[in-house]
Structure 1
């Protein structure tokens, strides 16, 4: 038994050093990023909001983000772990489809982008595909009494430039889009 104690203590000490160094390196890298490792925030109506955490928007004049398996709770990040053949999951997806078609009556079911009916792995994805944002243009334009062309222009001006992968699909941040809509309306009034 004594012959196992020394290697176990050495291995434990080695892991503490490795994990400690790794943690300090990652912490240091975070501190030299533009947002100092805190996460990007924007002010909306005097309140700071985190851009990199998905949030729920229900009003018709806002872009709606991806569904969340954790009800947009950042402390409980995670997926639903329901398989694609799970009856409960299929019922949830069908309810999301029905809701989208009620909110966007001019659209067809085959036009619904998958990211509007399926939750992300974390349940907190703050981004939408360009197609998912464009799917909502008519509803938002009608609710805000704006032209669809203006809403499309706001989408195009907010395409995320953070795609590091060459062939990654373009995306937009839902919170930034909604803030841009509010800013446009404030400037117009």
Structure 2
């Protein structure tokens, strides 16, 4: 029965809607990523992704349509990542991408551009075509605080700064800036 037990453990780590790592399993995975980043002396980007306008899809077309959008987005996020990177569904329409082994911030622009382009591809449900966009907030470890909760908070704050901005340019994102938080 060991394979069945291991299968249940694996299922408990996955979001049933998207097949991505779920919020419950995220903490231990994130700690491992940060540990590897420290050992290698590299950078890890924590990218907080929030789907813009998702509530309207649920409100106007129902949860079945919203579920289809989430399933497709989960699959797309899995495929757009580099080998070794991690995609997490935090819940609702919020996702987290962990990009390990970065040598510098210059790698972020083409990555976010690729993720934006992938998210914005049409999603079809019944006779309806949805085109969604996302808001992106990024924090970089170890440049920013090394605590798991604070890094998640930093990426979340940067994402909300992007969401509130009128700049919905494909590939745009907000990099966490501690000065932004102190001015609130």
TM-score scaled to structure 1, two decimals?
0.30
Comparing both chains, which one has the higher relative contact order based on Cα–Cα distances under 8 Å and sequence gaps of 6 or more? 2
- Structure number, greater radius of gyration: 1
Q: Return the TM-score normalized by structure 2.
A: 0.31
